[in-house]
């Protein structure tokens, strides 16, 4: 720092250059030929803005509006054009390029084939195609599901989308399984859109059915995963049977990459196919998986197998990137994103008025552990009777701090099975635990008091230490 009128021998403090302002974000244009796509990876701490200047383009099946800036942060995506376009890009990107070889032609043909099935179901009064997408991690399963959903919406269909990948939540936080009917545009910036929490939305909000798994992958608690899959399948089937607007649209099921690893002979894939009565099983990015499933579902079986190419833009994401993405998703749940900011509410809860139940992992013997067994030959079959009674209520402690609690629809007096299999109202964040005063300070997305329902606490997703000050 330079002090006027004062200089020190040997030092040039008075000659220090004035502070410079940060450079403005650089803007550039990309001219995309027909049937090409602009692939990008946006950094975690600064937005990348994309604006369609001319032509037509889409992101995962949803068209971009002309002259509208779309902001992306800590995201990977691909803007595709069928007829050519000009994009304006503002901000630094961790990676970007224009690709000429894409599988979008295959994906569009798949959509038209599914649309033919929907037309046949509509004419015959039956249920539309029930599609399940499987493949290794990083093969583009969620991207394909979003593309098929976006195309179905543009065809004026209402399709049920089911997320069975607890690693990243759909319309919820990570660690959940969910289902929702999509009848309106899929949000370009937010991915699947938003659920009715506490703020406005550009597109209509979705009403998801959410269950709390509390594990990063289904295999960590396969027995509970199967039970929740059954619950979701019953709800989806009931919706398809009773709602005429949704019946012909069918459903699309997204899965975790871990179920395609081959451990256990693809038992979880077979279970999902059986529970949802899947008619079309799509395999992405694995010749071995496709060959194995063809043996399980030979020609003539009710389930047909289709192999599609993996997009060249799909890359493996390391654990640090996934962890940052999960924490960003939790922040958005409470605080919103971009121009749409949410204002969560702080509440104080007494230890005595809260009923918190621990979600035990498969290695811990507990009445609340769906995988607990007194025998060594655990076949991972879903057996609700092993849950026992709801006696795993825990006393709040500092271990809860910085973690999420699932607010279920179950009463604390219900059995452990009923509590563990109950759907979720929403989530609260434990900001502070005062063991002396026996108080919990929680962050809630809505202003209403936290209901006197059973709360679930598990080991996933990870704690978010700096969510609030």
In sequence order, which residues have a C-beta less than 8 Å from that of residue 195 and are 6 or more positions away?
A: 171, 172, 205, 206, 207, 208
The mean pLDDT of 391-397, rounded to a whole number, is 81
Beta bridge partners of 344: none
Asked if residue 33 has pLDDT above 90, the reply is: yes
Does the annotation list 140 as a binding residue? yes
Does the annotation list 142 as a binding residue? yes
Report residue 453's pLDDT band, with 50, 70 and 90 as the boundaries: very high
Does the annotation list 341 as a binding residue? no
According to the model, what pLDDT value does residue 343 have? 84
Instruction: Tell me the per-residue pLDDT of 38-83, one tens digit each, with 9 for 90 and over.
Output: 999 998 888 899 999 999 999 999 999 999 999 998 888 999 999 9
Q: Identify the residue with better confidence: 52 or 468.
A: 52
Q: Identify the residue with better confidence: 179 or 206.
A: 179
Q: Cα-flanking dihedrals φ and ψ of residue 248, to 5°? A: -70, -25
Name the strands in the sheet holding 345-350, side by side, starting at the edge strand that comes first in the sequence.
345-350, 439-444, 424-434, 404-408, 454-457, 355-358, 393-394
The mean pLDDT of 155-174, rounded to a whole number, is 93
Report residue 378's pLDDT band, with 50, 70 and 90 as the boundaries: very low
Q: Where are the beta strands (DSSP E) in 235-301?
A: 251-255, 280-284
According to the model, what pLDDT value does residue 411 have? 95
| Distance, C-alpha 18 to centroid of its chain | 47
Report yes or no on whether pTM surpasses 0.95. no
Q: Which domains does the chain have, with CATH numbers?
A: 27-99 (2.60.120.1030), 103-308 (3.40.50.300), 344-361+392-457 (2.40.30.330)
According to the model, what pLDDT value does residue 201 have? 57
- Write b or e for each residue in 438-469: b if 16 or more Cβ atoms lie within 10 A of its Cβ, otherwise e: eebbbbbbeeeebeebbbbbbbbbbbbeebee
Instruction: Tell me the per-residue pLDDT of 428-448, one tens digit each, with 9 for 90 and over.
Output: 999 999 999 999 999 998 888
According to the model, what pLDDT value does residue 373 have? 39
According to the model, what pLDDT value does residue 237 have? 96
In sequence order, which residues have a C-beta less than 8 Å from that of residue 382 and are 6 or more positions away?
A: 223, 224, 226, 227, 230, 370
Token pair 């009777």 is found at 385
Q: Identify the residue with better confidence: 46 or 3.
A: 46
Report residue 382's pLDDT band, with 50, 70 and 90 as the boundaries: very low
According to the model, what pLDDT value does residue 363 have? 40
According to the model, what pLDDT value does residue 193 have? 67
Asked if residue 204 has pLDDT above 60, the reply is: yes
Does the annotation list 138 as a binding residue? yes
Of all residues in the chain, the percent with pLDDT exceeding 90 is 61
According to the model, what pLDDT value does residue 361 have? 54
Between the alpha carbon of residue 441 and those of residues 166, 400, 403, 431, 448, the distances in Å are 27, 11, 12, 6, 15
Q: Looking at 167-176, 212-221, 309-318, which range is the least confident one?
A: 309-318
Q: Looking at 52-66, 80-94, 194-208, 267-281, which range is the least confident one?
A: 194-208
How does strand 36-41 pair with strand 76-81?
A: antiparallel
Instruction: Tell me the per-residue pLDDT of 354-370, one tens digit each, with 9 for 90 and over.
Output: 999 988 654 433 434 44
Instruction: Tell me the per-residue pLDDT of 241-255, one tens digit each, with 9 for 90 and over.
Output: 999 989 999 999 999
According to the model, what pLDDT value does residue 8 have? 36
Report residue 304's pLDDT band, with 50, 70 and 90 as the boundaries: very high
Q: What does the CA dihedral 360, 363, 369, 372 come to, rounded to 10 degrees?
A: -170
According to the model, what pLDDT value does residue 195 have? 65
DSSP-derived letter for residue 66 is B
Among 178-182, 333-337, 417-421, the range with the most confident prediction by mean pLDDT is 178-182
Asked if residue 301 has pLDDT above 70, the reply is: yes
In sequence order, which residues have a C-beta less than 8 Å from that of residue 164 and are 6 or more positions away?
A: 177, 218, 229, 232, 253, 254, 255, 256, 272
Distance CA 441, CA 468 (A): 11
Instruction: Report the chain's mean pLDDT, rounded to a whole number.
Output: 85
Report residue 291's pLDDT band, with 50, 70 and 90 as the boundaries: very high
According to the model, what pLDDT value does residue 359 have? 80
Q: Identify the residue with better confidence: 366 or 137.
A: 137
Q: Identify the residue with better confidence: 200 or 332.
A: 332
Between the alpha carbon of residue 25 and those of residues 47, 89, 91, the distances in Å are 10, 10, 5
Radius of gyration of the chain (CA): 25
The mean pLDDT of 323-341, rounded to a whole number, is 83
Q: Identify the residue with better confidence: 309 or 360.
A: 309
According to the model, what pLDDT value does residue 166 have? 94
Distance CA 219, CA 191 (A): 26
The mean pLDDT of 31-36, rounded to a whole number, is 97
How does strand 251-255 pair with strand 130-134?
A: parallel
């Amino acid at each position: 720092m330079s002090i006027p009128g004062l200089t020190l021998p040997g030092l040039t403090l008075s000659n220090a250059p004035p502070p410079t302002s940060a450079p403005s974000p650089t803007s550039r244009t990309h001219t995309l030929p027909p049937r090409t796509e602009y692939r990008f990876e946006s950094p975690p701490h600064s937005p990348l803005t994309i604006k369609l200047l001319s032509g037509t383009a889409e992101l995962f099946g949803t068209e971009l509006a002309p002259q509208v800036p779309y902001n992306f942060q800590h995201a990977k995506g691909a803007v595709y054009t069928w007829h050519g376009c000009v994009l304006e890009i503002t901000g630094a990107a961790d990676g970007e390029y224009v690709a000429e070889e894409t599988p979008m032609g295959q994906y569009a043909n798949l959509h038209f084939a599914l649309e033919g099935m929907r037309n046949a179901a509509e004419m015959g009064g039956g249920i539309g195609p029930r599609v399940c997408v499987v493949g290794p991690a990083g093969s583009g399963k969620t991207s394909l599901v979003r593309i098929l959903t976006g195309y179905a919406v543009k065809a004026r269909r209402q399709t049920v989308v089911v997320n069975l990948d607890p690693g990243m939540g759909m319309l919820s936080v990570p660690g959940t399984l969910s289902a929702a009917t999509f009848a309106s545009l899929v949000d370009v910036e937010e991915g699947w859109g938003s659920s009715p929490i506490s703020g406005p939305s550009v597109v209509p909000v979705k009403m998801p059915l959410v269950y709390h798994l509390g594990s990063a992958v289904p295999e960590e608690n396969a027995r509970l995963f199967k039970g929740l899959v059954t619950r979701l399948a019953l709800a989806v089937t009931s919706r398809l049977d009773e709602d005429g607007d949704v019946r012909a649209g069918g459903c699309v099921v997204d899965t975790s990459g871990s179920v395609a690893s081959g451990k256990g002979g693809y038992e979880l894939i077979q279970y999902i196919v059986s529970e949802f009565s899947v008619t079309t099983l799509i395999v992405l990015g694995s010749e071995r998986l496709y060959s194995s499933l063809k043996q399980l579902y030979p020609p003539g079986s009710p389930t047909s197998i289709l192999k599609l190419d993996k997009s060249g833009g799909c890359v493996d994401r390391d654990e640090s990137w996934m962890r940052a993405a999960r924490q960003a998703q939790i922040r958005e749940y409470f605080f919103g994103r971009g121009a749409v900011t949410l204002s969560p509410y702080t509440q104080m809860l007494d230890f005595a008025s809260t009923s918190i139940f621990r979600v035990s992992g498969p290695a811990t013997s507990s009445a609340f552990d769906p995988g607990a067994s007194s025998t060594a030959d655990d076949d991972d079959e879903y057996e609700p009777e092993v849950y026992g009674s709801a006696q795993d209520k825990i006393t709040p402690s500092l271990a809860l701090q910085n973690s999420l609690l699932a607010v279920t629809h179950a009463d604390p007096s219900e059995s452990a099975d009923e509590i563990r299999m109950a759907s979720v109202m929403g989530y609260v964040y434990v900001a502070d635990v005062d063991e002396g005063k026996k108080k919990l300070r929680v962050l809630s997305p809505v202003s209403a008091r936290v209901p006197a329902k059973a709360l679930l606490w598990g080991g996933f997703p990870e704690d978010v230490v700096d969510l609030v000050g």
